[in-house]
Structure 1
Amino acid sequence: MEGTWIALVPFLVVIIIAMWTKQVFPGLILGLIIGAYIMKPTILGGMELSIQYIVDSLTDINNLKIIIFLYMFSGLVGIMKASGGIKGFVELTSEKVNSKKEAIILTWLSTLGTFSAPSFRIVTIAPIMKALLTKINMTRKELAFMIETSTQPVIVLIPIATASVGYMVSIIEMGIQNHGLNEDPYSIFIRSIPFNFFAITMIIVGTLFVFFRHNKADIHEDERDPDKITITKDDQSQELPANPWNLIIPVFLVISLTLFLTWFDGFRQGYSFPAAFIEADVLQAMVVALFITVLVSFLMQIIQRHSLKNMIHEFIEAGNNLMSVILLLAIVWALSSVTDQLGFSTFVTNNVDWIPHSLIPPVMFLIGAFVSYFIGSSWGTWGILMPLGFSLAQATDASLPLVIGAVFASGSFGSFASPLSDNTNTIANILGLDVITYAKYKLGPALIAVLISVILYGVMTLF
C-alpha cells in the first residue's frame, strides 16, 4: 500500500470537503479519520489511531513550544488592548490626519505597532481610521482595501514576532522531518520570504490602486459618515486609558529580545555572526522572549495600579481566542503523520517525472490560490499543500525555498481576496460593508497580483 495512489485519498478528501463546506476543519478531521482507517481498517482501529496521532502531535516538544507561543502572544495582545496601549498608540498617530495621502501614511505607520496578527491589526486600526472618513476623500471600501493591503501581505513577510511565524516554521519543519532533510526550518523560511511574490506584488499593486485611483463623482455622504458604520464590541473602548507605552514597550521588548536570544543561542554553540542566527534554536528564543515580555507587561500593569485580576482575565480570554487555531494545528500535524505513513512522499516522487521542473512553482501557486479562495484560510491552505510542495520539490529537484514561497503566497491570496476569509468578514463588519460586494471590489487588484506572481514564478525557474 505504501507509495500508491491510496496515499492521495486523505488530501483529496480534505480539499473536496473544505471547498464544499467552505471550512477547513471538517475536511481535515475527515481526511485524518479516513487516512487512519486505511492504516488500521477495523471498527475502532481508525478512531483509536486518529486519536493517537493527535496526541503524538500535541506531545512533540517543538509543537508544544509553538502552542505556548501562540497562546502567550494572543494573551499579550489582550493585555495591550485592556491597558489602553492600542488606544493610546492610535491616538498618538492620528491627530494630524486631514487628507487621503496622510491617511495612507498613517495606515502604513500603524503597522509598526500592530503587525503581530491580521485580526489584531484590523480590529485595532479599522475602528480608528473609520472615524477619520469625514476628513479624507475615501469611501469605506477604499479604506478597508487600504488597511487590508497593509495587513496580510505585510505580516506574512515579517520573520519575527508575529503569530504566523511559529506556524509557518512548524509546517516547514514538518516537511523536513517527513523527508529526512538536514535543514534548519527557520533558515528555509527566511530564504522563502523573497519568493512570496503575491504578498510583495499585492503591496505594490494595492498601494498604487489606493493612491492613484480617482473617483469619477463626488463620494456620497453615506460612504464617509462614521455614524453609518456598524459599531462592534471592539469599538467600545472609550473608558479605556490611553497609554501608548503599554503597546510600544512590549512590542519593542519582544522583538529585541527575540533577536538577542536568537543570536545568543547560536553564540553559545560556538558560532559567530551571522551564522549564530542560522544555527540557533529560533523557536526557543521566541518563546523565552515572549515569556519575559509577558512578565514585564504584568509588572507594568501593577506599577500603573491596574487591576491584576482583570489583566489576568484579559490574558486568558485573549489566549483562549486562539484555541481554534491550536486545534487546527493539532489536526494538521496529525494528518501529516498519517499521510507520511501511507507513503504520500514516495508516491509523489515516483509519479511527477512528466511535470516540467519549470512548472512546479507556478502550478503549486495556482493550485493553492484556487483552494485558498474557496476555503478562505491561509493557514489551512499552507497545512494542506505544504506536504505536496515538499514532495514535488524533492522529486523534481526544484528550489525548495521557491516552492515553499509559492505555497505561502497561494495561502496569502485566499486570506486577502476570499469572501470567506476571516479578515474580509471582520473588516467588512467593522466598516459596515456588504461582504460579497467588498470581496468583488478587491478581487480585481488581487487577480492582477496573481498574474504577475505566476509570471515571476515562471521566470525564476529559468535561473
Structure 2
Amino acid sequence: MKKLFKPFSLVLVIATLMSLIPTPVFAQEVNGNLANSMGPLTLIPPIVAIILAFATKNVVLSLFLGIFTGTVVIQYAGGANMLLGILYGFTDIVDYVLASLADPWNAGIILQVLVIGGLIALITSTGGARAIAESLAKKAKGPVSTQLITWVLGLMIFFDDYANALIVGPIMRPVSDKMKISRERLAFLIDATAAPIAGIALISTWIGYEVGLINDAFQSIGQDVNAYGIFLQTIPYRFYNILMLFFVLITSVTLREFGPMRKAQKRSRDTHELIAKGSHMENQDEELEVVVKGKTSVWNALIPIGSLIVFSFVGFYTNGRQAILDSNNAAVIQVIENSPFSFVSMREAFGASDASVVLFQAALIASIIALIMGVSQGHFTFGKGIDIWVNGMKTLMITGVILLLAWSLSGVMGELGTADYLVSLLSGTMPPVLLPTFIFLLGAIISFATGTSYGTMGILMPLAIPLATAMQPGNPDFVIMSTGAVLTGAIFGDHASPISDTTILSSMGAGSNLMDHVKTQLPYAVAVAIISILFGYIPTAFGMSVMLALPIGMIAIVAVIFIFGKKIDTTDNLSEE
C-alpha cells in the first residue's frame, strides 16, 4: 500500500490545485481543442505518467493514473466540479480504452503481438530456438560477436520496427544470456536498430506515411514536388538515426559502456544476474520452456521465422497494391498496373500497406507452420501444441495491456491538445540557422511526452516545411534539412520515451524490465541526440556539407565512447581495473 500511496497522493495534489483554480466557462470549447484554454494543465497527463513510471517502475499503474488525470482535466474543462470530475473522469477511462481497442490498427498490433508470442512458444517447444541459439553460439565466440550478430539481424529486419523488436529479441536472447550480456543491453541493441533503420530504409512500412506527410506539406505552400525524392534527400540529414546505428556498432565492438548500462553489464558479469532483482520479467523464460521430445533442428526455428518474414513481404506488397488500386490516385495505379514489380511499385505498395493486418496474418501462418512441424516430428500432440501456442500468447498479455493504456493516454492528450500547446509554448522568433535544431528538439519533446513518432511527424511536418521555406526562400537544402529534423526528432523522442510502443515491444522481446530498459537506454539516446545537434544540424545550417558533418559526428561518437565509457567484458569474471 505504501508504494501506491505516493502516486495517488500526486493525483490528489493535482486535483486539489485544480479545485483552487476558478473554473472557467468551457461550454463552447469542450468538443474542440483545449490547448489554448487549459494551458499548462494539458501537460499533466504525460507528466504524471512519465514521472510515476520512473518513480514506481510500475508502467501499468503510471499509465492508468496518467489517463485518469487527463480525463479529470477534460471533465474540469467542461465545467464539472471536482467531485463529479473525478467520478466521471474514472468512468471515462473505459471509453478511451475501448476506443483504442476498437481502432483496427491497434487491434491488429495487439493480435500480432499475441500471435508472435504463441509462435515463439512453439519454436521454443520444438527445440528450434535452442538449436538456432547453439548454432549462432558457434559463431558468437564472445560478447562482441554476439552483439554484432544482433546488430546485423536488426539491420536485416529493416522493413518494420515492430517485426524487428519481436523477432530479433527471442532469437538472440539465449545466445546473449550465455555470454552474460544483460537483458538491458540486449533491449537497447534491439530498440536502437528498430525505428532508426525502419525510418530511413528505402522500402519499409514507414515510408508511405513519411512521404505522404512531405507531399501534403509541400502542396500546402503550392509546390508540386517528388515527395519520395525529397525523402531520399533527407536521409543524410537523419543524423540521429545514422549516428545511433553507428553508436551501437562501436559500443558492441569496443564493449565500452557508461552510465546505468555500465552498471547493468557489471551486474550481469559479476553476479550473473541478467535481470535486476525485483524486475517483473524474471520468470518469463520459465513460462516458455517445454521439454522437447525427439531430435532438435535449427530448421524448427528458421522455417517458421523465415515464413514470417517472407509472408510479411508478400503481404506488404499485396495488401498495399490492393489499397492503391482501390484509391483514386490514377498516376500510382498506372505505375502499379504497368510495372507491378518495379522499385517504384514496390515502394508505393509497401508504403500503402496496413502493417498491423499483414504482420498478424504472417504470424498466424508462421504459427500454423510451426504447429504442423512440431506435431509431425513428434514433439507434441496437436492439442498440446494449441495449449503451448495459447500459453505463449499469455506471456505477452501484459504487453497488450501496456499498449492499450499507452494508446488511451495518447487519445486523452489528443483531446486536450497537449502537442498543440507544446508547439505554441516553444515556438517563436529565432535565427534561421537554429530552426532545424529547434524542430528536432520540439519533435523530441512532443514524441517523448506522447510516445508516438507518427503523431509527432503529423503535427510538425505541416509547420516545418512552410516555416523553413519562408525563413530561407530559394534554399532547398535548408528545407530538406528541416524536413529531416522533423522525422529524426520524432524518432529520438519516441526512442527515449517509456510510453512508446516500440520501447515497450523491444523490452518485451529482449525479456527486460521496461523501466530498466528505459533508464539504461536514455543516456545513450541523449548523448547521440546532443552530438546530432552539435555536429549535425547546427554546422549544416551554417553551410557545412552534410557529407563532412556526418564523418565528424561519427568521430565525436567514438570520442564520447572512449572518454566516458569503460570496457566491460561480461565473460571476464576478474574485477574491473
Q: CA deviation digits over 1:213-269, x for unaligned, max 9?
A: 699xxxxxx989989524865666594463221221122212222222222234442
TM-fit CA distance, 1:342: 4.1
Are 2:296 and 1:242 aligned?
Answer: yes
TM-fit CA distance, 1:106: 4.4
1:201 to 221, 243, 250: 243
Q: CA deviation digits over 1:323-347, x for unaligned, max 9?
A: 3333333334334444444455665
Are 2:463 and 1:395 aligned?
Answer: yes
Are 2:275 and 1:275 aligned?
Answer: no
> Do the aligned partners of 1:209 and 1:445 also contact (CA within 8 Å) in 2?
no
**Other-structure match for 1:453:** 532
Q: CA deviation digits over 1:79-116, x for unaligned, max 9?
A: 22222221111111222554666455544456569994
Moved more, 395-404 or 29-38: 395-404
Larger CA Rg, structure 1 vs 2: 2
1:151 to 190, 194, 197: 190
**Other-structure match for 2:473:** none
Q: CA deviation digits over 1:25-71, x for unaligned, max 9?
A: 14432243224414545425434444323322222233322222222
Percent identity of the aligned residues?
Answer: 15
1:302 to 347, 370, 375: 375
Q: CA deviation digits over 1:138-191, x for unaligned, max 9?
A: xx57x778745532211234549xxxx99x89999xx99xx9x99xxxx9xx98
Q: CA deviation digits over 1:261-283, x for unaligned, max 9?
A: 22223444242442354253333
2:451 to 382, 385, 395: 382
In the TM superposition, 1:109-124 aligns within 5 A as: 116=163, 118=165, 121-122=168-169, 124=171
Counterpart of 1:92 in 2: which secondary structure?
helix
Instruction: Output the amino acid matched with 2:120.
Output: V
Instruction: Output the amino acid matched with 2:402.
Output: L
Q: 1:351/1:309 Cα in 2 relative to 1: closer, same or farther (>3 Å)? A: same
Moved more, 118-127 or 269-278: 118-127
> Do the aligned partners of 2:240 and 2:528 also contact (CA within 8 Å) in 1?
yes
Give the length in aligned residue pairs.
Answer: 415
Moved more, 111-120 or 331-340: 111-120
Task: For 1:214 and 1:51, locate their aligned partners in 2 and report how far apart those are by CA, in whole Å.
Answer: 46
Task: For 1:19 and 1:171, locate their aligned partners in 2 and report how far apart those are by CA, in whole Å.
Answer: 31
> Do the aligned partners of 1:265 and 1:276 also contact (CA within 8 Å) in 2?
no
TM-fit CA distance, 1:293: 2.1
Task: For 1:65 and 1:225, locate their aligned partners in 2 and report how far apart those are by CA, in whole Å.
Answer: 36
Moved more, 38-47 or 77-86: 38-47
**Other-structure match for 1:376:** none
Task: For 1:120 and 1:340, locate their aligned partners in 2 and report how far apart those are by CA, in whole Å.
Answer: 31
**Other-structure match for 2:126:** 83
TM-fit CA distance, 1:316: 2.1
> Do the aligned partners of 1:263 and 1:276 also contact (CA within 8 Å) in 2?
yes
Q: 1:396/1:29 Cα in 2 relative to 1: closer, same or farther (>3 Å)? A: same
> Do the aligned partners of 1:18 and 1:26 also contact (CA within 8 Å) in 2?
no
Task: For 2:143 and 2:353, locate their aligned partners in 1 and report how far apart those are by CA, in whole Å.
Answer: 44
Are 2:445 and 1:367 aligned?
Answer: yes
> Do the aligned partners of 1:149 and 1:207 also contact (CA within 8 Å) in 2?
no
Q: RMSD of the TM alignment (CA)?
A: 4.9
2:312 to 224, 242, 258: 258
Task: For 2:193 and 2:103, locate their aligned partners in 1 and report how far apart those are by CA, in whole Å.
Answer: 30
**Other-structure match for 1:287:** 360
Q: 1:7/1:332 Cα in 2 relative to 1: closer, same or farther (>3 Å)? A: farther
TM-fit CA distance, 1:409: 1.8
Q: 1:16/1:298 Cα in 2 relative to 1: closer, same or farther (>3 Å)? A: same
Task: For 1:49 and 1:439, locate their aligned partners in 2 and report how far apart those are by CA, in whole Å.
Answer: 31
Instruction: Output the amino acid matched with 2:368.
Output: L
**Other-structure match for 1:136:** none
Counterpart of 2:297 in 1: which secondary structure?
coil
In the TM superposition, 1:40-439 aligns within 5 A as: 40-42=78-80, 43=84, 44-98=87-141, 102-108=145-151, 116=163, 118=165, 121-122=168-169, 124-132=171-179, 147=186, 150-157=189-196, 159=198, 197-212=239-254, 229-230=272-273, 233=283, 239-240=291-292, 242-268=296-322, 269=325, 270=333, 271=336, 272=340, 273=342, 274-275=344-345, 277-279=347-349, 280-283=352-355, 284-305=357-378, 306-344=380-418, 347=421, 353-354=427-428, 356=430, 357-364=435-442, 367=445, 382-383=451-452, 387=455, 390-397=458-465, 402-413=485-496
Counterpart of 2:370 in 1: which secondary structure?
helix
Counterpart of 1:319 in 2: which secondary structure?
helix
**Other-structure match for 2:470:** none
Task: For 2:407 and 2:267, locate their aligned partners in 1 and report how far apart those are by CA, in whole Å.
Answer: 45
Q: TM-score, normalised by structure 2?
A: 0.57
Q: 1:329/1:355 Cα in 2 relative to 1: closer, same or farther (>3 Å)? A: farther
Q: 1:287/1:233 Cα in 2 relative to 1: closer, same or farther (>3 Å)? A: closer
Unmatched 5+ stretches in structure 1: 133-139, 216-221, 372-379
> Do the aligned partners of 1:262 and 1:277 also contact (CA within 8 Å) in 2?
no
Q: 1:20/1:212 Cα in 2 relative to 1: closer, same or farther (>3 Å)? A: closer
> Do the aligned partners of 1:250 and 1:297 also contact (CA within 8 Å) in 2?
yes
Task: For 2:512 and 2:405, locate their aligned partners in 1 and report how far apart those are by CA, in whole Å.
Answer: 29
**Other-structure match for 2:23:** none
**Other-structure match for 2:7:** none
Q: 1:41/1:337 Cα in 2 relative to 1: closer, same or farther (>3 Å)? A: farther
**Other-structure match for 1:25:** 63
Instruction: Output the amino acid matched with 2:125.
Output: A
> Do the aligned partners of 2:127 and 2:296 also contact (CA within 8 Å) in 1?
yes
Instruction: Output the amino acid matched with 1:70.
Output: V
Instruction: Output the amino acid matched with 1:55.
Output: L
